[in-house]
């Protein structure tokens, strides 16, 4: 067998949906694993709802995730004529027919049927038109759509995830493939595209299972071998309904903008509906590529658990390369209004390292590190009462003197001063550490104090200590 060809075919809706991202991921993993080709195709046959910007957002999202495509992007709207080119061929088979019913007529008949509490399906009115009637309608230039005539019998296929799925043809209506304005409908465009692009595996959401039966009939009329299908379980919201814009964050780029690392996001969504077996959870894209298989994809829809994403993201941040982390965090400093230019890169990386394991999102980092960059303006109220007692400020005075004698203002040296002083005065470390931290950062929590002092440097440490010692802050 030749190398597989897979595709992701999003419709430009203004954002890259989390579900689409995961579908893209599984397509990508399989294509890469089998040395296949991953195609990007934009399904914009609904011209009114599509735009260039929307398409770019999707491409940007895919790029952020690192799911690079090999071919495309192709735009369905560029190929409108291709679809209708197949019409004569299809007509010859007798498998399609013209439908002159107007949307309005259809709607009326549909309502009548529903009123009787019956299931609506196209009533085949136009299938029974005589040749003369058809001719007459055409001469009168009455607009028409093309419908597929679904034959008697059953339609079935072997889904890579669900196994054999079967449906009575009587349950499938004669569906439209070309609108009366001569544009193709989704189900038709998809089949023609997949056929022309020689797609071998169609991997998409569960919600397309019912479309699959219709598409199978088009393949039949085309006399083409259908691709393999894999229908993925849906990603659900807390209410176990299909994740939608209404019920949760659905845009992939929104996660980027809150400071989720792409690797963490990919890892997380991969695990909704798939697992290589066993207890493995943290995996890179290339590891997943080796491990992926459709057999291991779950059938059950999975809830998008923000808490677990948060955990996974913090884990990734902790283990991330400091330099890369810094680059990705810069925009967040900017939007937090923090000026970082007075620090060199080495120092900035140290700052990153000091808070790496505390941040859940990149957007947390500016607030976690603000005091490194700006003077302390406010001091934690509770901390002030608790730690900045006169007695403790006395300690700070002495400590400041001792620090002054230091040749090297480093973590270890500073620690030595504090430990020794605490021992001499029979104090607990916290008795001098907490007041110092508060004086230097205005806060009661933060990075390890001695490390913090080393990063800040002697000058800043002294000026901030002085401010506390000399002011009547109490």
Task: Tell me the per-residue interface mask from 140 to 179 with RNA, x by CB under 7 A, - otherwise.
Answer: ---xxx----------------xx-xxxx--x-x-xx--x
Q: Does 43 bind RNA (CB under 7 A)?
A: yes
In 3D space, the residue among 148, 301, 137 whose CA is nearest the CA of residue 232 turns out to be: 301
Which of 143, 337 has the CB closer to RNA?
Answer: 143
Q: From CA 458, how far away is CA 436, in angstroms rounded?
A: 13
Q: 225 to 244, contacts with RNA by CB under 7 A? A: 233-234, 236, 239-242
DSSP track, 406-428: -SS--HHHHHHHHHHHHHHHT--
Three-point CA angle 411, 461, 387, nearest 5°: 95
Which of 22, 36 has the CB closer to RNA?
Answer: 22
Q: How far is the CB of 464 from RNA (least distance, A)?
A: 16
Q: Does 109 bind RNA (CB under 7 A)?
A: no
Q: How far is the CB of 271 from RNA (least distance, A)?
A: 5
Region of 81-89, 181-189, 337-345, 398-406 interacting with RNA (CB under 7 A): 181-189
User: Distances from the Cα of 58 to the Cαs of 13, 15, 262, 387, in angstroms?
Assistant: 9, 6, 15, 52
Options 88, 94, 153, 277; binder of RNA; rule CB under 7 A: 277
Q: 53 to 82, contacts with RNA by CB under 7 A? A: 76
Which of 110, 220 has the CB closer to RNA?
Answer: 110
Which of 88, 277 has the CB closer to RNA?
Answer: 277
Options 88, 94, 278, 390; binder of RNA; rule CB under 7 A: 278
Q: Which two tokens stand for residue 419?
A: 């430990």
User: H or E segment at 203?
Assistant: strand 201-205
Q: 361 to 390, contacts with RNA by CB under 7 A? A: none
Task: Tell me the per-residue interface mask from 315 to 354 with RNA, x by CB under 7 A, - otherwise.
Answer: x--x------------------------------------
In 3D space, the residue among 331, 328, 290 whose CA is nearest the CA of residue 64 turns out to be: 328
Q: 279 to 298, contacts with RNA by CB under 7 A? A: 279, 281, 296, 298
Three-point CA angle 325, 328, 331, nearest 5°: 135
Q: From CA 465, how far away is CA 440, in angstroms rounded?
A: 7
Residues present in the chain in total: 474
How many residues lie near RNA (CB under 7 A)? 93
Name the active-site residue from 198, 245, 296, 419: 245
Q: Does 185 bind RNA (CB under 7 A)?
A: yes
Which of 36, 360 has the CB closer to RNA?
Answer: 360
Options 450, 464, 465, 468; binder of RNA; rule CB under 7 A: 450
Options 124, 220, 358, 402; binder of RNA; rule CB under 7 A: 358
Q: From CA 453, how far away is CA 460, in angstroms rounded?
A: 9
Region of 133-141, 216-224, 309-317, 337-345 interacting with RNA (CB under 7 A): 309-317
Does residue 42 contact residue 11 with C-beta atoms inside 8 Å? yes
Q: From CA 16, how far away is CA 12, in angstroms rounded?
A: 8
Task: Tell me the per-residue interface mask from 81 to 100 with RNA, x by CB under 7 A, - otherwise.
Answer: ------------------xx
In 3D space, the residue among 247, 243, 235, 251 whose CA is nearest the CA of residue 64 turns out to be: 251
User: H or E segment at 99?
Assistant: strand 96-99
Q: How far is the CB of 78 from RNA (least distance, A)?
A: 14
Which of 375, 445 has the CB closer to RNA?
Answer: 445
Tell me the sheet residues that pair with 176: 147
Q: Does 216 bind RNA (CB under 7 A)?
A: no
Q: Which two tokens stand for residue 421?
A: 């002083």
DSSP track, 14-72: SS-BHHHHHHHHHHHHHHHHTT-EEEEEE----GGG--HHHHHHHHHHHHHHT---SEE
- Annotated catalytic, 245? yes
Q: Does 219 bind RNA (CB under 7 A)?
A: no
Q: How far is the CB of 3 from RNA (least distance, A)?
A: 26
Which of 272, 456 has the CB closer to RNA?
Answer: 272
Q: From CA 445, how far away is CA 149, in angstroms rounded?
A: 71
Q: Does 210 bind RNA (CB under 7 A)?
A: yes
**Residues assigned a catalytic role:** 245
């Amino acid at each position: 067998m030749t190398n597989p060809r897979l595709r992701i075919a999003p419709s430009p809706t203004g954002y890259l949906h989390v579900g689409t991202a995961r579908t893209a991921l599984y397509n990508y993993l399989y294509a890469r694993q089998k040395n296949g080709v991953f195609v990007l195709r934009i399904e914009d046959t609904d011209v009114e709802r599509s735009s260039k910007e929307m398409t770019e957002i999707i491409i940007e999202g895919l790029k952020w995730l690192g799911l690079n495509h090999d071919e495309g992007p192709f735009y369905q709207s560029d190929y409108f004529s291709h679809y209708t080119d197949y019409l004569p061929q299809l007509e010859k088979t007798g498998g399609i027919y013209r439908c002159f019913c107007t949307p309005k007529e259809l709607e009326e008949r549909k309502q009548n049927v529903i009123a009787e509490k019956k299931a609506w399906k196209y009533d085949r009115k136009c299938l029974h038109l005589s040749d003369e009637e058809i001719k007459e309608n055409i001469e009168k230039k009455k607009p028409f759509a093309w419908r597929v005539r679904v034959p008697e019998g059953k339609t079935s296929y072997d889904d890579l995830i669900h196994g054999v799925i079967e449906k009575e043809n009587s349950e499938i209506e004669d569906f439209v493939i070309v609108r009366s304005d001569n544009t193709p409908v989704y189900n038709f465009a998809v089949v023609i595209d997949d056929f022309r692009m020689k797609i071998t595996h169609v991997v998409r959401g569960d919600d397309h299972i019912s479309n699959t039966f219709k598409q199978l009939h088009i393949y039949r009329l085309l006399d083409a071998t259908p691709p393999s299908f894999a229908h993925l379980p849906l990603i659900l919201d807390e209410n176990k309904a299909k994740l939608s814009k209404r019920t949760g964050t659905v845009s992939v780029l929104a996660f980027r903008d809150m400071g989720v690392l792409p690797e963490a996001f990919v890892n997380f969504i991969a695990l909704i509906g798939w697992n290589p077996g066993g207890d493995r959870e943290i995996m890179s894209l290339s590891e997943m590529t080796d491990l992926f298989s459709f057999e291991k994809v779950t059938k059950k829809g999975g809830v998008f658990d923000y808490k677990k994403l948060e955990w996974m993201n913090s884990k990734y941040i902790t283990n991330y390369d400091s330099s890369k982390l810094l680059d990705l965090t810069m925009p967040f400093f900017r939007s937090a209004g923090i000026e970082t230019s007075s620090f060199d890169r080495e120092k900035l990386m140290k700052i990153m390292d000091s808070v790496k394991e505390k941040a859940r999102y990149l957007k947390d980092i500016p607030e976690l590190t603000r005091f490194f960059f700006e003077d302390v303006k406010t001091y934690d109220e509770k901390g002030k009462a608790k730690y900045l007692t006169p007695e403790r400020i006395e300690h700070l005075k002495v400590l400041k003197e001792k620090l002054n004698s230091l040749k090297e203002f480093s973590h270890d040296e500073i620690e030595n001063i504090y430990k020794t002083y605490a021992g001499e005065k029979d104090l607990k470390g916290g008795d001098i550490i907490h007041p110092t931290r508060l004086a230097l950062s205005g806060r009661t929590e933060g990075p390890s104090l001695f490390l913090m002092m080393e990063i800040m440097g002697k000058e800043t440490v002294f000026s901030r200590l002085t401010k506390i010692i000399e002011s009547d802050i109490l």
